[in-house]
Structure 1
Amino acid sequence: MKKLTALMLTSLVMLLMLTTTPAQAHPTQTPAERAREIATALRKDALYVDPAYKTAVPENLLADVRTKAKALGYPVYSIVLPLTPSDAFQGKERNVLTLVIDALAEPGLYVVIDGGSRFPWYEAHNLPQLTEDRLQAVRERALDDTGYDAGPTEVLARMYELLALPALPPATKTTKPIKTASPGNRDSDSDDSSSGGKVALFVVLGLVVLVALGLVIGLSRRRSGGSASGPRREKPFSIPPHVAATVAAEQRRRLTRETMLELTTLGSQLAALPTSQGGGLSHQQAALDARQAAEKVLDSSEDLVDVVGAMVLLDKARREYDAAVAVAADRPVDVVPDLCAFNPLHGRSSGQPTQVKSDGATLTLPLCAACRRALKRGEAPASLPGADGPYWHDKDLWARTFFGAVGDDLAGQVARGAHRS
């Protein structure tokens, strides 16, 4: 038993030593300094690969990305780097894009991808010919076409290849890496052979580890008298954290886009609304204040909760605008329920506001039907997630007011900067 355990530990150590690539840590830099460093490199080569991945990505794949990016006819800046919560960009692709675009100050398509992930993030800067719908469709097709065994540079190459086409072709599934190097390129062949040898070694070591683990587990079961004929319990399905993060990011991107469009639409409608008197004027001013607050929050948003806060303010602005129009037309003002306080993305509240009691305090909150039913069953409602559990566990303005359900004048508090305190 001791020999088997020693063999297993030795194999694990060898496997980790061979498969772990030490990242070249950058000196302590501010986010702006790190962005300027990347921007300087992009002026020389529009494909930036962090030193941590220089030896990990074959040159023929990098050449493929460069070739297909140049074929697009407009500037394309590609960034491949490791992203972690402790880096200069706090592990967020959005921060990379925003700061690098500011540092480079050039029009173009900016794409960033974590070297350990397949999901490219992009932003078209001063390129009116590229629409969000077009880029989103091309990104999704590139992910579908390259398959889950493809590396990030292959996804980038396919994305640029699809962008060059006038329309998306029927979906095809690619399971082999895209290769563009000529047969006479000895350096590429040598790299491929070396990579193949390493892969074979990793597979052998992995098998040794698996066999050792199997023997250890088998002996442990014999000792504990475990029965192979007993009922097996399958682990319930759960969404992996990295997939959940991608879904949340996509949800935020979509909600941001929808909120920006509504901001523009409502702004035009308010500008065209004639100035009224009395109650109509108060509704009109409230709509202007709420819309301005929504725009302020969206411009400085840091996460999904902020974007939802902007959406709630914009919903308030829309209702005030509708009330101003009704008063001007001498019609009764419709009573529109508030959004669900636990999660405004659930939609409108249902029925009368619900009293929620906890630790001797009582809150009266507008809740959707699903959240009301959950409370009646004694279960936690499906609240909007924050940094640490439900968003209302935090201490920001949204948590303190349940998105304006508690207290008055949410727009006024935003105007005074309370959403950043």
Structure 2
Amino acid sequence: MSTDVKRVITVLAALLLAALTTAPARAADGDAPSAGQRVAEALRSSPVYVDKAYADAVPPSRQRQLADRIRRTGLPVKVVLTPLTKGDAFDGDSGVLAGVVRDRLPEQRDLILITTDGEFPDSLNGYEWPADTHQTRDAVAAAGLLDETRDAGLAGLTAKAVDLVAEGKGTQRYDEATKDLDGTPVSKPEPGGSRGWQWPLVVAVPALALAVLATRALVRSRSRRSAPAVPQLVFATARAADEAELRRRAEAEVLALGEATRAADVSTTPALQRALDAYAAAGRVLDEARGVPDLAGALALAQEGQDALAGSPGLPLCFFNPLHGRAARRTGWRPLGHRDQLDVAVCQECADALRGRRAPEVLTDRDEDGRTVPYFEIPAARSVWAATGYGSLMPPLDGFTARGAKAR
């Protein structure tokens, strides 16, 4: 029996024993926005945040060593080591944690985030924005599969993850690590998803549960590579965006556009009038905003105004979720249940999801029945954002003007 298999069986046997003898943990009090804000504030003074529950595993001295290691890489790396349990502020999902923390660090456009995993406490997950340029997902996943990190502890595992991210060969390292298990690379599911078993099933069929857990333990990382399932094309965004903070961001962007238009020279800015129109529209949308979709619309209009001033339109905000920022490319996409394909602008993260046949994270809205749905499923006659796709289908300003200066 290989050392990797022994390692997995030992860990999973312990997990199964704990599951059979311990009641499920209670949900923690608190909410994602406030919990995320506390983490973000701490990360502004140090690139390493360690919850007190992990203080023994990663003491202050090791935290300082990790921080120094990160600074030497010169990369925008942040580390968040905190317990994740179903029902807590982040619902036990490292993806929610990552999204909330990112939203609360708006000043940091480039961000590499290494977090604990919600399913396996001895594992880490990696996230990177605006694109996975440093192969962060695979690098962090590979760190947990190396012989040298077997007994390294959480601090040592995190240090190795930082090193592999800095190396920039995460996918190669992951493939090398997983190929040794059975001769072929292992497919990689999304982190922080469902465990795939429920409490009664674990008690009734422990062997089956152990097999399921063993499979998942060997593939701890983010993306699928082989035999991809066909998920729902879209799903409600897990990011618990703080509407008040988003409003402040939108106000800042609109204010910046207003200042830029006042400073512009009419003789050298051919599209100044369009920028002024976009500024007026963004201000009106901001004043009348009824939720996140409208606030995202104000951001889209503000960007359109800035592009008009610069004389280079560029790509609009990401079609699937404009809060992801400016798109990186355009791609074809066919909505579920439709024959016609749309040409939409997407960020790198969403482009990677589509390429891997995974569901991109989308901005949601409420339909007439009060159900939460992807914003683009709202009838175009009722929503300028569904009609324009925040710039993918038509310029936001054109859609806003055509509707008599009403977002909805």
Normalising by structure 2, we get a TM-score of 0.41
Query: Highest Rg: 1 or 2?
Result: 1
Which one has the bigger helix percentage? Answer: 1
Normalising by structure 1, we get a TM-score of 0.40
